[in-house]
Amino acid sequence: MALCIVGELGIAMSTLVSLHSLLFVSIYVFGFGGLVALMYAYMQKIVPFLWFEYRFSKRPERKTAPLIDDMVPRRTALTSMLFYFGGTIVGAIALTVGKGSMVSLASWVSDLAMTGGSMLLFLSLRHVLTIGGKRPDDQL
């Protein structure tokens, strides 16, 4: 959420001062560090809840929903977000620096870290979809 606010402030400041290099970096930070990360955070909350409702809604012995932390593997989710945010920060630094031989390498590192973090997040959400096994038949 902090990167979203930083990106918004950067967009506002760069449009006031007409500083285009800061504008591009701010849009990058706002989009990838704020909006995409916010969608990932919401997915980590919504997917387990929807899966629990889908899997156990027809069961007569249905109990209350477990905590989100019990359904999503915490270590994998935390590692994925650290990779993703690390890649976002490296990408923002590469955009700020501009041109050079290390910028190309930093861009690759940024892309790999963000992609790896996204894949780890989806892997942790895949674990949620295996909880409880196959949905029982609708006729009980």
Question: Do residues 139 and 105 touch, judged by C-beta distance below 8 A?
Answer: no
Residue 68 has pLDDT above 90, yes or no: no
In tens, the pLDDT along 94-123 reads 888 877 778 888 889 999 999 999 999 988
CA 106 to chain centre: 20
Alpha carbon distance 45, 134 (integer Å):
21
In tens, the pLDDT along 2-42 reads 777 877 788 888 878 887 778 888 888 888 888 888 888 88
pTM of structure? 0.78
Residue 87 has pLDDT above 90, yes or no: yes
**Sequence-ordered alpha helix ranges (H) in the chain:** 2-17, 20-28, 36-56, 68-71, 74-97, 101-128
pLDDT band for 70, please (50, 70, 90 cuts). confident
SS3 category, 18: coil
Alpha carbon distance 33, 19 (integer Å):
20
